[in-house]
Amino acid sequence: QVQLVESGGGLVQAGGSLRLSCAVSESIFSFNSMGWYRLLPGKARELVAFITSDGSTKYVASVKGRFINSRDNAKNAVYLQMNSLKPEDTAMYYCSAEGRKDYWGQGTQVTVSS
C-alpha cells in the first residue's frame, strides 16, 4: 500500500509563507503526476497544483505566481512552496499520487490569519 505523508502546515499571518512537503513510500516515477488539493470550509475539493513525471507544472488561477510546486525524485517527495498567503488559502491540503490507481495523504491544515 502506497503511503503519502504531508507535513509543513500551520498557522501563518497573511502575506507569510509555508512550505508543504509530501513524502511518498515508493518511487514517484511510478505515478503520472503528483497533485496538491485543498478542501476549503463549506466547499468542494479543489486542485491547487500538479506536477508531472517530466516536471511540468500546472496551477489553479488563484495561486499562480504565489505557489511553487516541485519534486525531488531522489527523495520521493513533492513540495508546495506557498508565498504571499491569503486568508482564503485557509484549508486542509492534501497530496495525491495519480496513476493507474490514486493515493492520498491524510492532509495538513493551513490557516492564514488576516
pLDDT surpasses 90 at 84: yes
Q: DSSP string spanning 46-75?
A: EEEEEEETT--EEE-GGGTTTEEEEEEGGG
Given this model, what pLDDT does residue 41 score?
Answer: 80
Residue 55 half-sphere exposure toward CB, CA atoms < 13 A: 2
Compute the average pLDDT of residues 80-91: 97
Residue 108 grid cell: 495538513
Question: What φ, ψ does residue 39 adopt, rounded to 5°?
Answer: -115, 105
Question: What φ, ψ does residue 30 adopt, rounded to 5°?
Answer: -65, -15
Element (H, E) at 33: strand 33-39
Given this model, what pLDDT does residue 45 score?
Answer: 92
**What distance in Å separates the CA atoms of residue 44 and residue 75, rounded to the nearest whole number?**
31
Mean of all residue pLDDT scores within the chain:
96
Neighbours of 83 (CB within 10 A): 14
pLDDT tens for residues 12-57?
999 999 999 999 999 999 899 999 999 988 888 999 999 999 999 9
pLDDT band at 4 (very low <50, low <70, confident <90, very high): very high
